[in-house]
Amino acid sequence: MDQEKIDNMRSTLSKLEDIKNSQESIIDKINHVITDLFEHPDKELEKAMEEAHQRSSDNIEAVNEAIEDYEMKINQLELQD
38-53 residue pLDDT tens: 999 999 999 999 999 9
43-80 vs 3-39: helix crossing angle, rounded to 10:
160
Single pTM value for the model: 0.86
Looking at residue 1, what is its pLDDT? Answer: 53
> Residue 21 is part of which domain span?
3-80
- For 1-17, what is each residue's pLDDT tens digit? 589 999 999 999 999 99
- Neighbouring residues of 78: CB distance < 8 A, sequence distance ≥ 6: 1, 6
- For 26-38, what is each residue's pLDDT tens digit? 999 999 999 999 9
Q: What is the mean pLDDT of residues 48-64?
A: 98
* Domains held by the chain: number: 1
Looking at residue 80, what is its pLDDT? Answer: 85
